[in-house]
Amino acid sequence: MQNPNDIIDSEGRSIPKHIAIILDGNGRWAERRGLPRAMGHKQGCETLETIVADCARLGVQYLTVYGFSTENWKRSQEEVGALMKLFRFYMTKLIKVANEHNVRARMIGERSRFAPDIQEGICRLENETKDNTGMTFVFAVNYGSRDEIVRAIRKYTIEAIRSGKSEEEILALTEQDFSLYLDTAGMPDPDLVIRTSGEFRISNYLLWQSAYAEYYITPVLWPDFNKEELLKAIDNFNTRERRFGGRLKK
Footprint on this chain of ligand IPE (rule: CB under 6 A): 22-28, 66-69, 72, 83, 197, 199, 201, 203
Among Mg ion, ligand IPE, none, partner that 68 touches (CB below 5 to 8 angstroms by kind): ligand IPE
Among Mg ion, ligand IPE, none, partner that 72 touches (CB below 5 to 8 angstroms by kind): ligand IPE
Instruction: For the chain, state the CA radius of gyration.
Output: 19
Among Mg ion, ligand IPE, none, partner that 22 touches (CB below 5 to 8 angstroms by kind): ligand IPE
Among ligand IPE, Mg ion, none, partner that 165 touches (CB below 5 to 8 angstroms by kind): none
Ranked by CB distance to ligand IPE, the top (closest) residue is 27
Nearer to Mg ion, 24 or 183 (CB): 24
Residue 156 Cβ vs ligand IPE, minimum distance, rounded to whole Å: 26
Nearest CA-CA partner of 61 in 112, 140, 6: 6
Say if residues 67 and 83 touch (Cβ distance below 8 Å). Answer: no
Q: How many CA atoms lie within 13 A of 134 on its CB side?
A: 20
Residue 207 Cβ vs ligand IPE, minimum distance, rounded to whole Å: 13
Rounded to an integer, what distance in angstroms lies between the CA atom of residue 183 and that of residue 149? 9
Annotation says 72 is catalytic: yes
Nearest CA-CA partner of 19 in 127, 113, 138: 138
Nearer to Mg ion, 24 or 148 (CB): 24
Rounded to an integer, what distance in angstroms lies between the CA atom of residue 155 and that of residue 160? 9
Residue 26 Cβ vs ligand IPE, minimum distance, rounded to whole Å: 4
Helix (H, G, I), strand (E, B) or coil at 116: helix
- 6, 9, 54, 72: the catalytic one is 72
Strand 7-8 and strand 14-15: the pairing is antiparallel
- 24, 142, 183, 191: the catalytic one is 24
Rounded to an integer, what distance in angstroms lies between the CA atom of residue 91 and that of residue 244? 36
Nearest CA-CA partner of 17 in 184, 135, 104, 130: 135
Nearer to ligand IPE, 146 or 242 (CB): 146
The residues that touch Mg ion, with contacts defined as CB under 5 A, are 24
Rounded to an integer, what distance in angstroms lies between the CA atom of residue 98 and that of residue 3? 29
Nearer to ligand IPE, 15 or 220 (CB): 220
Contacts of 163 (CB under 8 A, 6+ apart): none
Annotation says 24 is catalytic: yes
Among Mg ion, ligand IPE, none, partner that 67 touches (CB below 5 to 8 angstroms by kind): ligand IPE
Q: How far apart are the first and last CA of the chain?
A: 12
Ranked by CB distance to Mg ion, the top (closest) residue is 24
Nearer to Mg ion, 25 or 190 (CB): 25
Residue 24 Cβ vs Mg ion, minimum distance, rounded to whole Å: 4
At position 148, the amino acid (one-letter code) is E
Residues annotated catalytic, as ranges? 24, 72
